Chain A
Amino acid sequence: MVRLTSVDELISFRRRVQEVKSARPARPTLVLCAGTGGQASGSNDIMRVIKRHILEHNLQDKIQLRITGCQGFCEMDPFIVVEPGQHLYPRLKMEDVPRVINSALGGYVEEDLLYREPHATVKYHCQSDIPFFKSQTRTILGSNQQLDPIRIENYFDQGGYAALEKVLSKIDPAWIVAEVKASGLRGRGGAGFLTGMKWQLARAAGNGGGRKYIVCNCDEGDPGAYMDRSLLEGNPHAIIEGMIIGAIAIGASRGIVYVRSEYPLAIKHTTIALRQAHDYGLLGENILGTSISFDIEIVRGAGAFVCGEETALIRSVMGYRGEPRQRPPYPIEKGIDGCPTCINNVETFANVPVIIRDGAAEYVKVGVPGNSGTKIFSLVGKIRNTGLVEVPLGIKIRQVVHEIGGGAPGRAKVKAVQTGGPSGGCIPASMFDLPIDFDSLVQAGSIMGSGGMIVMDEDTCMVDVARYFMNFLKDESCGKCFTCRKGTQRMWEILDDVSKGKATLAQLKLLQELAEVVKDTSMCGLGQTASNPVLSTLRYFRKEYERHIVHKRCDAFVCNDLVGAPCQSACPLGTEAWRYVAHIGRGEYQEAYQAIREANPFPSVCARVCNHPCEERCRAGATGGDPVAIRALKRFITDNIDPMSFKPVRHTSAPPGSPPVAVIGSGPAGLSAAHYLSLRGYKVTVYEQDAEPGGMMFSAIPGYRLPREVMRKEIASLLDENVTLVCNSTLGRDITLDSLFEKGYGAIFVALGAHKSLRLGLDGEDAKGVIPSISFLKAHNQRGEQLARGRVAVVGGGNSAVDAARTAKRQPGVESVTIYYRRTLKEMPAFAEEVEAAEQEGVSIKTLTAPTRILTKDGSITGIELIKNSLGEVDASGRRRPVPIPGTEYSVPVDTLIVAISEGSDTDCIAVAGVNRIEVTAGGTVKIDSDTLLTNRAGVFAGGDVVTGPNTVVDAIAAGKRAAVMIDRYLRREVLAQPEQLRRPSVYVEPLAPEPEAAEPARRVELPRLPTCERLSGFVEVEKAFTLEQAAREARRCLRCDLAFTKPAPQPEETTVHAGGAQ
């Protein structure tokens, strides 16, 4: 170890280090990421395996191992980068390590271990090609990969302390300050004060001698932010160099690194680095033989969040409670022990050597004016690539979230990002074009903070987010200011009430008022920004708050008290799925049918065609397991219990002499409304335009999914003495709204369905052989006509496209069926099991393809021209927009083209001009009040597909059920919109004794299906029902979320018995 005594010695020493290195033969290097994150993911094990392998095989001279700090790609930890070539092997297992070592030695690539994006097949050979790294500018963080933090030689080798050389060779503090000022560097701790300006003030402060301090603030306490830790762990010498330069600039003689005790690795590496710097003469008395003396010590914070605030930090360094005080006087004038103290963030110091070494002019080239340089963000939350990213300031949020972060990991779309930690704010996805810089974020109601970036998707409840952060802040507030201490506590109380469905809209107003006052009147930064989570979520997500308060719903299924049992909550009908599943487990099938039928007049239909939102939300499937097969269990019950055995309970609420009600449309919405109105004692007439009731259920759903006799039986069970069915009666032709009112009907429920296929908008769409999907399905389902022949093409990706394709496949004279969809399979709106079944049956699916022309000859279709798409930017729906690739057009011969891009309603019949015109939307659907289902005309209600566009059966039933309630209220002249009730489990069904714990978690029982060979011969139902054993086994998998609400409290005497027994 040499103590360097002059700048020249430092230069020659560095040259020697570099010469020694280049004199060695080139060896491949394994770079292992071993920051705190890497170690938590097991990089220590990988390290041990590598070392053992090297020793056992005597590879010391052939391969090199570099253990670095955090490289930022924490999602893929533990990973190894092999140099040269930069091959990145992510999520390595110990057994794969020898393969990686051998490939590095042999100079080849282990293809199957290489990085690839989830669900993608493209492999990335080079680290810099990986999207996560490609879009970053890793000026600061990049060094972490190049050096071992406990070897100062590595830092020298990378040009370390060159900035110090430059500074010491002229010793001109004013020049340093001017250079930093010219660079426009803003404090990376969050507030964004100009570092050069701060240093200038610090330099001027306390002139006339006396001590000055320079402090590196590494009290990083934000949940989800760890860039400061990674810098201190991965490159401590850069921070030390920055601090020495800062000390020279402001004339400080003592430096302090304030780091929280929770960062042991950072403390360890910094301690080692400080000792090395001392030994080399870079710190201490007379640095490098100059007259400058400067030393740095580490002060460990006890972990209070508020100690990141500079005045609190100073008190903490002095040994007092970490409590902020009033500024002015600023620390620059009066800091530690009353001496001028300059406090900068870790990342700020890390930027200083770069600025001095390359010059401010070079530095400002990165970033945007007023916000120069790069900023490190820690990207966490609902994001595919968790990790540290370094990007130039001014980059759009969208780029960081979608390009670098890879978007949301699951099906739920990204909804917002939270920047700046607990005291930051949420920025909604609609504002993702916002540039990330200090000023724009403040304008949007958030802050830069230290750079935490928490991504939230639609399964994140914003009320819960605000509540979580407020809980953090109420614990971390020092408590000195009354408004911060009580304000955060009271805000948390209100947020907690909202999340439990106990709050009122008046409380929401109070919350806003309080948040503004807390922001205004608190003393320090913590209190002044503590309201941000509340204010920004209120600003952008007020609807979610109102849903919680008014509708008692948490749409993200997070707030437990509102959700109750997720299956029940997810069901538009509020079916107590947990209840019938529990009854099935106990073998009580009649009770199970009761639970199903009470909520749903079409249990057999729904048991076959429901899109089962209950299963999507089932907690058994939430963390990678399989959800309980609720729909299949329902099928098991409905197949075994006769619908006629159920006698619905009648609560006659209709006042005597009530007028009858007319329902137009006999689909699920219309018949449900009629049924529930009948139960309330109203006379109902149902008008149907077709010859048979059933609506969209009958005309659009093929028989292999929903056998006709099942549907007919169920419809028949609903037509009681109060309900009259009138078929072959079309609105606008046989009846009108006016004529119905004239006939004496008191209210009308319009549930026409969506019977009109939308057009492609291409020439030749009226040619022979081009059929709208609804016409095709109707022709088949109602009249048995078989319109498809030859080569069939279906355009679209929804359920009606898949239904049409599978129906066509079953028709004689059809050679092949192909579905063309413009996005990818992942984005397809059709149910996944339907798509899977279609593929099994031989329907081919071409994705990322859209038609551009219909080729015709003599008025008949001969083929279609298609174009290939690629996925572009994420659009408003959260899906990536399909973008046609010019020049990829190609034609295919086609005999039948079925257009199934979407359906609309034929609303012309009700939207007739005049005073009584019913308003429709631009999309051709009827406009209603979503709470009361009332149209703009008194007494006319609407629901089902005619309001929503093509939608699920269960939503239509829910609309019908709701319409019955509303029409009842209307006819009894009550207020239509009434407060919603909480839908929580209320009946206690005793759970079965637990089975002995199995080694493996029970998998979902697969639903039996008809073999493919038997399917195509006709329209026999494809899905089969569970057997009794299968049903019982599946039902036992239920986690019984309901018990949290229904389980009776244990009896006190029981507990005493147990206590006595235990003794």
Chain B
Amino acid sequence: MINIKINGLPVSVEKGTTLLEAARFLGFPIPTLCHMEGLTPYGACRLCVVEIGQGAKARLVSSCTYPAEEGAVVRTASNRVVRARKMILELLLASCPQSKIIQDLASAHEVRQQRFRQEHEDCILCGLCVRMCKEQMAAGAIGFTARGDHRRITTPFDISSEVCRLCGGCIYVCPACQLRCTYTEPDKAICGGCANLSPPCLEKEGFDDMMCFMSPCVACEIKKD
């Protein structure tokens, strides 16, 4: 067992436990977007940062990927952590203002403004769908491509995947486009697949701009008839 202290509370955890798991075990809330039980930790959204170490050596690490180390001293809501989280949420709001999850998180963290140039993106590249597809659905139909601000999720060579079984798991786990995919009340959603009231797949030729990798989209096909 490994002994650590979180926000002053001592706790013993098994080897291999992440700081996020340990903190949640103690009931400390840590927001996450790219983390999901059953999928390998990825550490992409950086919302779950916590502060470890003392004095000049204190630093922020993503709690979802950082393993508990003997004697670690963890602070889940220090000023430094809160400041970082607020900035991350501001950045998220600037990119994906339409996501309900992000709006709620920003509101909960008292982020009242966003000072960047407004963008309207669908994806925060948390990678949940990629891991879902590979690890739980054993398909590996989608993955990341390109670097930096060109990075995006797609099928290999941007052609519709032969290994995709149209399971919809990718859409199920997506934290950013949740509102779009399920509308405000999931049971009233018109299209379970890609979009809401007016599914863009009906208006557009391809699926390039959509967060939907189902080709053809089962739900939309039904709707069309």
Contact = CB atoms under 8 A, between A and B. Distances in A.
Interface in B199-217: none
B149 A522 contact: no
B148 A476 contact: yes
A304 interface: yes
A486 B95 contact: yes
B148 A513 contact: no
A482 B45 contact: yes
B120 interface: no
A493 B148 contact: no
Interface in A468-523: 473-483, 485-490, 493, 506-507, 510, 513-514, 517, 520-523
Interface residues of B, number: 38
B69 A328 contact: yes
Contacts of A476: 147-148
Contacts of B148: 473-479, 485, 488-489
Interface stretch (B1-9, B81-89, B183-191): B81-89
Contact of A522 (B46, B95, B125, B144): B46
A326 interface: yes
A493 B61 contact: no
Given A476-B148, A506-B115, A522-B46, A482 B69 contact: no
A764 B222 CA distance: 107
B60 to A, nearest CB: 5
Given A328-B69, A481-B43, A487 B91 contact: yes
A478 B150 CA distance: 10
Contacts of B94: 486, 490
Contact of B66 (A326, A473, A480): A326
Given A482-B88, A485-B125, A485-B151, A490 B45 contact: no
B181 to A, nearest CB: 21
A321 interface: yes
Contacts of B125: 479-480, 482, 485
B31 interface: no
B91 A486 contact: yes
B124 A326 contact: no
A483 B125 CA distance: 11
Given A326-B65, A517-B84, A481 B144 contact: no
A487 B91 CA distance: 8
Interface residues of A, number: 35
A493 B88 contact: no
Contacts of B87: 513-514, 517
B165 interface: no
Contact of B88 (A474, A483, A488, A510): A483
A329 B46 CA distance: 19
A520 B43 CA distance: 14
B140 interface: no
B83 A326 contact: no
Interface in A302-326: 304, 306, 321, 325-326
Contacts of A325: 43, 65
Given A479-B149, A482-B92, A493 B116 contact: yes
A326 B151 contact: no
A482 B41 CA distance: 15
Contact of B80 (A487, A488, A510, A520): A520
Contacts of B146: 479
B44 interface: yes
A483 B46 contact: yes
Interface string B83-110: 1100110011011000000000000000
B144 A321 contact: yes
Given A475-B148, A479-B144, A493 B117 contact: yes
Contacts of B117: 493
A76 B212 CA distance: 58
B204 to A, nearest CB: 25
B62 interface: yes
A474 B149 contact: yes
B1 to A, nearest CB: 18
13 contacts: A328-B67, A475-B147, A477-B148, A480-B44, A482-B46, A482-B126, A483-B91, A486-B149, A488-B149, A490-B94, A493-B116, A493-B117, A520-B60
Contacts of B124: 482
Nearest to A510: B115
A479 B91 contact: no
Contacts of A510: 115-116
A521 B60 contact: yes
B49 interface: yes
A632 B61 CA distance: 65
A490 B116 contact: yes
Given A476-B147, A489-B148, 14 more contacts: A321-B144, A326-B62, A475-B148, A477-B147, A477-B149, A479-B125, A480-B42, A480-B44, A480-B125, A481-B43, A482-B92, A485-B149, A486-B149, A521-B49
A114 B57 CA distance: 54
Given A326-B65, A328-B67, A482-B45, A520 B91 contact: no
Interface in B99-153: 115-117, 124-127, 144, 146-151
Nearest to B64: A326
B174 to A, nearest CB: 15
A489 B149 contact: yes
A510 B115 CA distance: 8
A498 to B, nearest CB: 14
Nearest to A483: B46
Contact of B115 (A479, A481, A507): A507
A589 to B, nearest CB: 48
A523 B144 contact: no
A306 B147 CA distance: 10
Nearest to B143: A321
A520 B86 CA distance: 13
A485 B65 CA distance: 18
Contacts of B91: 482-483, 486-487, 490, 514
Nearest to B61: A326
A306 B95 CA distance: 24
Contacts of A474: 148-149
Nearest to A475: B148
Nearest to B121: A486
A522 B59 CA distance: 11
Contacts of A488: 148-149
Nearest to A509: B115
Interface string B30-68: 000000000001111110010000000001111001110
Contact of A517 (B61, B88, B127): B88
Contacts of A486: 91, 94-95, 149
6 smallest CB-CB distances across A and B, nearest first, come from: A479-B151, A326-B65, A517-B87, A477-B148, A489-B149, A475-B148
Nearest to A473: B148
B2 to A, nearest CB: 13
Interface in A774-792: none
A110 B20 CA distance: 73
Interface in A501-547: 506-507, 510, 513-514, 517, 520-523
Contacts of A487: 91
Nearest to B66: A326
Nearest to A518: B87
Contacts of A475: 147-150
A479 B80 CA distance: 23
Nearest to A478: B147
Contacts of B49: 520-521
Contacts of B67: 328-329
Nearest to B60: A520
A520 B83 CA distance: 10
Contacts of A477: 147-149
Contacts of B88: 482-483, 517, 521
Interface in A100-114: none
Contact of B43 (A321, A326, A490, A507): A326
B90 to A, nearest CB: 9
B177 to A, nearest CB: 16
B52 to A, nearest CB: 12
A514 B90 CA distance: 10
